[in-house]
């Protein structure tokens, strides 16, 4: 079997990966490296990395896949060994793995990846995959939309201003909140500002016409007491609604808070799909216990 870097193929990924992975690969916001194992012209397994560096920087392992009939044969282990060599030659010293899995597969994957010298970091994140139409059926959302004029105002990133946003990001040791500015889409991201300070935010983007991607959510105690999450959410989806009409729009929500997760479960029906986000770290060229 030959291992080599290949170009990401939309048809292949549509058949073998998740919506979240395709969002990362085809959004155009990240440099992508896809390394595959090929036998007799057939792609057997592949690994996708994002934020491929020019020099010494970390990369993310976004996804691993092996065709079913080749599993349990060691092809993915050899693929990861080749990835180590390839990325090391590019100056990479650390691989950070962020994998989205159905909860039933999470334990199995964690065992697989840790046996291959990846160190577990956390399993607290979740990715939820909703249909916008289903979310709009919520009575709570309909009530908020009708009462919009009476609720606290939320604003777009440009109205917040760079100064306040930079102040929030620089205070991430206290707040725990961080986001990549390239993911803060002016059209759909929303902030709750009061007395010259950001108290709540939803960072979102439109990677495709039929996808709304909510990558980060921030609520301090003031925003929580005023139940600002759903107000921000309604403002976030409003521009999507105006353009969507009869189009089936997916809403992908990244979560690192169990409180927000529990709140979503109360307001909306269960999502079409739910994934745990498992994070691991691998130091290239070093063996771990």
Residue 247 has pLDDT above 80, yes or no: no
Q: Is 69 in the same domain as 147?
A: no
pLDDT band at 29 (very low <50, low <70, confident <90, very high): confident
Q: What is the dihedral of CA 36, 89, 112, 38, to 10 degrees?
A: 20
What is residue 246's predicted lDDT score, i.e. its pLDDT?
A: 57
pLDDT, tens only, 115-159: 988 999 876 678 899 998 888 888 888 898 888 888 999 999 999
What is residue 286's predicted lDDT score, i.e. its pLDDT?
A: 55
pLDDT, tens only, 30-81: 889 999 999 998 999 999 998 865 545 688 898 999 999 999 899 999 999 9
pLDDT, tens only, 99-118: 878 888 888 888 989 998 89
Which residue intervals of the chain are DSSP H helices? Answer: 10-16, 19-26, 75-89, 103-114, 132-136, 139-146, 157-160, 162-170, 172-175, 221-225, 228-244, 258-267
Looking at the chain, the whole-number percentage of residues with pLDDT higher than 90 is 42
pLDDT band at 244 (very low <50, low <70, confident <90, very high): low
As beta bridge partners, residue 281 has 96, 119
Q: Is 171 in the same domain as 145?
A: yes
- Domain assignment of residue 187, yes or no: yes
Q: Is 119 in the same domain as 171?
A: no
- What total of structural domains would you count in the chain? 2
pLDDT, tens only, 213-228: 998 999 999 999 988 9
Q: Is 8 in the same domain as 50?
A: yes
Residue 288 has pLDDT above 70, yes or no: no
CATH number at 169 reads 3.40.630.30
Give yes or no for a contact between 240 and 132, defined as CB atoms under 8 angstroms apart: yes
Instruction: Give the distance from CA 234 to its chain's centroid.
Output: 20
What is the average pLDDT score of the chain?
Answer: 87
Q: Tell me which residue range forms the domain holding 174.
A: 139-267
- Domain assignment of residue 11, yes or no: yes
- What's the whole-number mean pLDDT along residues 203-208? 89
Q: Phi and psi of 124, rounded to 5°? A: -90, -20
What is residue 273's predicted lDDT score, i.e. its pLDDT?
A: 86
Most confident by average pLDDT, 73-82, 204-213, 250-259: 73-82
What is residue 289's predicted lDDT score, i.e. its pLDDT?
A: 40
Q: Is 148 in the same domain as 236?
A: yes
């Amino acid at each position: 079997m030959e291992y080599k870097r290949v170009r990401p193929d939309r048809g292949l990924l549509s058949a073998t990966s998740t919506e979240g992975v395709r969002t990362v690969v085809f959004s155009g916001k990240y440099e992508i490296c896809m390394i595959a194992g090929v036998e007799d012209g057939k792609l057997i397994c592949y690994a996708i990395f994002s934020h491929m560096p020019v020099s010494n920087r970390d990369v993310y392992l976004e996804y691993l896949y092996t065709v079913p009939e080749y599993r349990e044969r060691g092809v993915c282990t050899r693929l990861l060994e080749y990835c180590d060599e390839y990325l090391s030659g590019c100056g990479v010293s650390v691989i950070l793995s962020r994998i989205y899995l159905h909860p039933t597969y999470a334990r199995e994957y964690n065992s697989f990846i840790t046996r291959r010298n990846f160190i577990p970091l956390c399993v607290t994140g979740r990715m939820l995959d909703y249909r916008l139409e289903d979310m709009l059926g919520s009575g709570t959302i309909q009530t908020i939309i009708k009462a919009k004029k009476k609720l606290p105002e939320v604003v777009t990133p440009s109205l917040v201003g760079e100064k306040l946003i930079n102040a929030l990001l620089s205070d991430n040791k206290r707040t725990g909140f961080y986001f990549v500015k390239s993911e803060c889409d002016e059209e759909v991201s929303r902030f709750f500002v009061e007395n010259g300070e950001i108290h709540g935010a939803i960072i979102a983007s439109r990677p495709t016409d039929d996808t709304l991607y909510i990558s980060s959510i921030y609520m301090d105690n003031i925003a929580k007491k005023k139940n600002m999450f759903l107000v921000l959410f309604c403002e976030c989806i409003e521009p999507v609604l105006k353009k969507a009409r009869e189009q089936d729009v997916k809403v992908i929500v990244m979560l690192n808070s169990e409180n927000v997760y529990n709140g979503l479960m109360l307001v909306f029906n269960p999502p079409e799909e739910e994934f745990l986000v498992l994070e691991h770290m691998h130091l290239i060229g070093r063996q771990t216990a």
